[in-house]
Chains A and B, each alone.
Chain A
Amino acid sequence: MTDTSQSPSRRALIGWGGAGLALGAVAAGSAVAMTRDGDSAPAGAATGAAIAFHGDHQAGIATPVQDRLHFAAFDVKTDDRAEFIQMLKDWTAAARRMTAGQAVGEGAFGGLAEAPPDDTGEALGLKPSRLTLTIGFGPSLFEKYGEAFGIADARPEALVELPKFAGDNLDKNRSGGDLCIQACADDPQVAVHAIRNLARIGFGKVVIKWSQLGFGKTSSTTPDEQTPRNLMGFKDGTRNIAGTETDRLKKFVWVDGKEGPEWMAGGSYLVARRIRMHIETWDRTSLQEQEDIIGRDKGEGAPVGKAKERDEPFLKAMLPDAHVRLAHPASNDGATILRRGYSFTDGTDGLGRLDAGLFFLAYQKDPRTGFVRIQRNLAIDSLNEYIQHVGSALFAVPPGVRDKDDWWGSTLFSKEA
C-alpha cells in the first residue's frame, strides 16, 4: 500500500479511454506533442512540468490546455461561514502542493500506522503533469448561503441564471452546483487524484453534486501546436484566444474592477455544458454534409472556399446555418469566448450508443455578452440535429491566489461578515 512505485495497471486503465477511443487522430497528435522527452509512457503521462499556482489570474484558463480533465461540481453542506472559509483555505493549501507535484498534507505513507494517510497516494511518483486547479462559485451559492456567509450583496450581476436555449434537455443531476473545481493535467490519474483529495478534505462541508471526466482537449490556447479535433473528427478551436494574446484576454476574458464587483477583478466566468453527440448518426452523414454543417473541410480544417486552416473565413460562402458561420464573432456583435473543452465518453447508454460528446468549457468576461449571445444565435445551427445539451452550469471564477498566504475566494470572503 505504501509502495512508492507507480500503479501501471490503474493508469493504463484510465489512459486506455483516451488512447483507444479518441479515434486515432487526437490521441496520436497528443502523443507526439507530449512525449517530447522520448519517454515511452502513454500519451501525456510523463511530460513533467508544473504550472505556477500563484498569479493574478487562476491557472487553468489562459495557461496551455492539458490533455485530460476531471471537473467536479459541489454543493455546500454547512452554513457556518468560518467553517466554509477554513475549508477554502485547506483546499488552497492542498491545491498548492498538488499542482507542484507534492502529496497532500503529510503524505501518503510514513505516518501513524493506525490512521489513514493524508494523501490517497495514487499520484506518488507521477510528475506534476501541468496540473491546474481552478475554482468557481455558482449562482446557487449566493442564493442559498448569501446571508449565512455574508455574501448576499456580492453576487455579480453577470452571474445570471442561464436562460433555456433551443434544444436543451438538461439533466438536473448533471447541472448547476454551488462550487466547481476544474482539474486539468496531462496525466488523467493526476487530475483524478486532485479531485478525489479535495473531495475528501471537503467531506462534511461540501459534497460532490456531479463530476465529469474528459480526455482529449478540443481547443487549445497554444496555436503553435496542432489544432486538436473533437469527436466529430473536425479541428476545433482554430481561432480560439491564445494564452499569449494579452489584449484579447483583457477584452474578452478577464473581468476588470470597473465592470463587475471588485472581488471579481482578474477573474472570469465559466460556462460548462455537457453536450452529447449523436455519434452514430453523425458517422453515417456524408462527408459533404458534415463539411457543410461545420463550415470547414474535414482534413485541413480550412473554412469553406479557403485553402488553409488559418485563412480568414468568408462567412457568406458558408450555408446560412453552418456552425462556424453562426458561432463566428462577426455574427455575434464581436462576441468571443475562450474555449477549453474536452471530449468525453462515459461508456455506452442502454441502447448501445456511445455516451459521448463534448464537455464544453468556456471562459468570458460576461456570459450575457459571451456564451448566451452566441448560443442564442446557434438556435438554427444545423449541427443541432447531431448534438444535445444535457448538462449546464455557470460559475464566477475569482482572481488568482497571489502568494502563499492567499487563498481561494479571499477577495469574496475576506470582508468581515
Chain B
Amino acid sequence: MRAVRLSVTTAIATAAALAAVTGCTEKGSSAGGDRVVNVTATDDKCEVSKKEFPAGHVELAIENKGSKVTEVYILFPDDRIVTERENIGPGTKQTVTAEVKAGDYTIACKPGMKGDGIRQTVKATGKGTVAKRDPRLDKAVAAYREYVQEQADETLPPAETFTKAVKDGDLEAAKKAYAPSRIGWERTEPVAESFGDDIDPKVDLREDGLKGDQKWTGWHRLEKALWQDKKIGAEEKALADQLITDLKEWQNRVGKAEITPTSMANGAKELLDEVATGKVTGEEERYSHTDLVDFKANVEGAQKAYDLLKPVAKENEPALVTELDKQFAALDTLLDKYRADGAKTDQYDFISYDKVGEGDRKELSDGVNALAEPLSKLAAAVVTK
C-alpha cells in the first residue's frame, strides 16, 4: 500500500513541477534521484547520503535508527530555519521537502530534540540563485506584502482613536472604537504570528492564554476593563500606550516578513481556523461580543490572499477555485444576515454575538467548515516544486 501511495504522490509532484515550469527535470522515482538526500539519524550520528545537490527542490528522506525521538533541520548559514521536521520517532521514516537557493546549508539532527544537534554542512549547487518561480506568484507575494503593510498602516489611526478614548477615561467612546481598531490586525494576523512570541502575545492575547507569570497586555485586557470591570484606571491608560508601541513595532516589521505563496495560502486557511476556534464560539471577544467584526475581517484577509493566488490556482485546480469562489460568496452572504439594522455592507457594524442563538452559530460554523476545508487545499494548488 505504501509503495502505491508513494508513486501516486510522486506522479503528482512531477506533474506540479512541469506545470510550474521550474526547469527541473525530476525523475519519476522518489528514491535515489539527485534531489533526494538520505539522512540517517542515530543517537550520535547524522549521516547524509550526499553533501552536494542542485539548488531548487530538495527532499530529505530521513530515517531515525537511534533510540531517541529526533528532529531534523535544514538551516541557513546564520542558523535561520529553512525547514524542519520534529518528533521523528525511533525506527520511523519521514520526508521533508524544501526549496533552496544555491549556497551553503547545514543539516542538523537533534536526538532527544535538544541542543544544537549533530551537524553536516551541505551545498546546493547551481548557477541560478533559486529555482525560478512562476512570475505570477512572485507578483502575488509582492501584492500581498503591500496589502499587509497597508493594513498595518491603516490600523494605527483607529487604534490611536481607541487608545485616546481610553486615556481620556471615556468609557463609551473607547467601547465604540474598540472593534474597528482591530480590523487590519485581524485581516493579516497570521503574518504577525509568524514573528513568533514578539508581537501577537503582547497585543492580542486572551486571559486564558497567559503563560506563568506573564503580564496581560493588549486589546483583550482593555476589553475586559471596558466591558466587564467598566472602569478605566491608571494601569489601563498605561496599557493603551503600550498597545500603540507594540502596534508600531508590528507596522515596522510586517513588511519584512517572510512570505511565500504557500504561506499566503496556509495563512488564509489559518484565518478561517481563527474563526472556527475563536469567533464562532464567542471566545475571542467574550466581554465585548464584537466577534462578528473579527469574523468578517478574518474572512476578508483570507479572501485577499486567495484572490491574489487565484490565477495560478485556477490553472492547476480549476474545480477547487470554483468551489472556493462559491464558498467565499456563501459565507459573505451569511454574514450579511448579522449586520446591525441599517448598516451598509461596507461598514463593520454587526449585531452583538451574544444575541446570536445556538442554531445560528451552528449555521455560521457550518459555513466556516465549508470554506476552510477546500481552502486547506489551496497551498497544494500553488506549490512550486
Q: Are A3 and B8 in contact (CB under 8 A)?
A: no
The answer to whether the Cβ of A107 comes within 8 Å of any Cβ in the partner chain is yes
**Residue with the greatest number of chain A CB neighbours at <10 A, chosen from B6, B87, B92, B370:** B370
Give residues of chain B (308-330) contacting chain A, Cβ–Cβ below 8 Å.
323, 327
Cα A113 to Cα B94 with chains together (Å): 11
The 0/1 profile, CB within 8 Å of B marked 1, for residues 353-383 of chain A is: 0000000000000000000000000000000
Q: Are B327 and A113 in contact (CB under 8 A)?
A: no
Which chain A residues lie closer than 8 Å to B95 at the CB level? 110, 113
- Report the minimum CB–CB distance from A178 to chain B (whole Å): 13
Q: Are A110 and B1 in contact (CB under 8 A)?
A: no
Q: Of B94, B97, B379, which contacts A2 at CB under 8 A?
A: B94
Q: Of A1, A103, A115, which contacts B380 at CB under 8 A?
A: A115
The answer to whether the Cβ of A111 comes within 8 Å of any Cβ in the partner chain is yes
Q: Are B87 and A204 in contact (CB under 8 A)?
A: no
The answer to whether the Cβ of B373 comes within 8 Å of any Cβ in the partner chain is yes
Cα A107 to Cα B83 with chains together (Å): 23
Q: Are B380 and A114 in contact (CB under 8 A)?
A: yes
Give residues of chain B (89-123) contacting chain A, Cβ–Cβ below 8 Å.
89, 92, 94-97
- Report the minimum CB–CB distance from A328 to chain B (whole Å): 41
Which chain B residues lie closer than 8 Å to A5 at the CB level? 89, 92
The 0/1 profile, CB within 8 Å of B marked 1, for residues 98-133 of chain A is: 000011001100111111100000000000000000
Cα A4 to Cα B92 with chains together (Å): 8
The answer to whether the Cβ of B266 comes within 8 Å of any Cβ in the partner chain is yes
- Report the minimum CB–CB distance from A218 to chain B (whole Å): 30
Cα A290 to Cα B95 with chains together (Å): 61
Q: Of B1, B94, B96, B362, which contacts A102 at CB under 8 A?
A: B1
Which chain A residues lie closer than 8 Å to B242 at the CB level? none
The answer to whether the Cβ of B12 comes within 8 Å of any Cβ in the partner chain is yes
Q: Are B370 and A107 in contact (CB under 8 A)?
A: no
Q: Are B369 and A207 in contact (CB under 8 A)?
A: yes
The answer to whether the Cβ of B355 comes within 8 Å of any Cβ in the partner chain is no
- Report the minimum CB–CB distance from A356 to chain B (whole Å): 24
Cα A114 to Cα B12 with chains together (Å): 13
The answer to whether the Cβ of A308 comes within 8 Å of any Cβ in the partner chain is no
Which chain A residues lie closer than 8 Å to B266 at the CB level? 114
The answer to whether the Cβ of B376 comes within 8 Å of any Cβ in the partner chain is yes
Cα A18 to Cα B41 with chains together (Å): 41
Cα A110 to Cα B373 with chains together (Å): 20
Q: A107-B5, A110-B9 are contacts. A1–B87 as well, Cβ < 8 Å?
A: yes
Q: Of A1, A115, A116, A203, which contacts B370 at CB under 8 A?
A: A203
- Report the minimum CB–CB distance from B330 to chain A (whole Å): 9
Cα A77 to Cα B330 with chains together (Å): 11
- Report the minimum CB–CB distance from B265 to chain A (whole Å): 8
The 0/1 profile, CB within 8 Å of A marked 1, for residues 334-375 of chain B is: 000000000000000000000000000010001001111110
Which chain A residues lie closer than 8 Å to B373 at the CB level? 200, 203-204
Q: Are B370 and A114 in contact (CB under 8 A)?
A: no
- Report the minimum CB–CB distance from A182 to chain B (whole Å): 22
Give the residue name and chain of the A residue nearest to B324 (CB).
Answer: A204
Cα A107 to Cα B8 with chains together (Å): 11
Cα A207 to Cα B327 with chains together (Å): 14
* Interface range on chain B (Cβ under 8 Å from partner): 20 to 34
Cα A404 to Cα B372 with chains together (Å): 31
Which chain A residues lie closer than 8 Å to B96 at the CB level? 113
Cα A113 to Cα B86 with chains together (Å): 13
- Report the minimum CB–CB distance from B359 to chain A (whole Å): 9
The answer to whether the Cβ of B65 comes within 8 Å of any Cβ in the partner chain is no
The answer to whether the Cβ of B377 comes within 8 Å of any Cβ in the partner chain is yes
- Report the minimum CB–CB distance from B302 to chain A (whole Å): 15
Q: Of A3, A102, A200, which contacts B89 at CB under 8 A?
A: A3
- Report the minimum CB–CB distance from B217 to chain A (whole Å): 33
Q: Of B374, B379, B383, which contacts A204 at CB under 8 A?
A: B374
Q: Are B323 and A114 in contact (CB under 8 A)?
A: no
Q: Of B262, B362, B366, B369, which contacts A114 at CB under 8 A?
A: B262
**Residue with the greatest number of chain B CB neighbours at <10 A, chosen from A5, A111, A116, A204:** A204
The 0/1 profile, CB within 8 Å of B marked 1, for residues 1-16 of chain A is: 1111100000000000
Q: Are A106 and B9 in contact (CB under 8 A)?
A: yes
Cα A355 to Cα B356 with chains together (Å): 28
Give the residue name and chain of the A residue nearest to B374 (CB).
Answer: A204
Which chain A residues lie closer than 8 Å to B369 at the CB level? 203-204, 207
The 0/1 profile, CB within 8 Å of A marked 1, for residues 1-24 of chain B is: 110011011001100000000000
Q: Of A112, A113, A116, which contacts B12 at CB under 8 A?
A: A112
Cα A115 to Cα B92 with chains together (Å): 21
**Residue with the greatest number of chain B CB neighbours at <10 A, chosen from A4, A102, A110:** A110
Q: Are A112 and B13 in contact (CB under 8 A)?
A: yes
Which chain B residues lie closer than 8 Å to A2 at the CB level? 92, 94
Cα A110 to Cα B87 with chains together (Å): 15
Cα A2 to Cα B94 with chains together (Å): 7
The 0/1 profile, CB within 8 Å of A marked 1, for residues 257-278 of chain B is: 0000010011000000000000
Q: Are A110 and B323 in contact (CB under 8 A)?
A: no
Q: Of A3, A77, A110, A114, which contacts B2 at CB under 8 A?
A: A110
Which chain B residues lie closer than 8 Å to A4 at the CB level? 92
Give residues of chain B (232-282) contacting chain A, Cβ–Cβ below 8 Å.
262, 265-266
Given contacts A77-B366, A207-B370, 14 further A-B contacts (CB under 8 A): A2-B92, A2-B94, A4-B92, A106-B9, A107-B5, A110-B9, A110-B95, A112-B12, A113-B83, A115-B377, A200-B373, A203-B369, A203-B370, A203-B372
Chain A to chain B contacts (Cβ below 8 Å), 10 pairs: A4-B92, A5-B92, A102-B1, A107-B5, A111-B9, A113-B95, A115-B376, A116-B376, A200-B373, A203-B369
Q: Which 9 A-B pairs have the closest CB atoms?
A: A115-B380, A204-B370, A203-B373, A207-B366, A114-B379, A114-B262, A107-B5, A203-B369, A116-B376
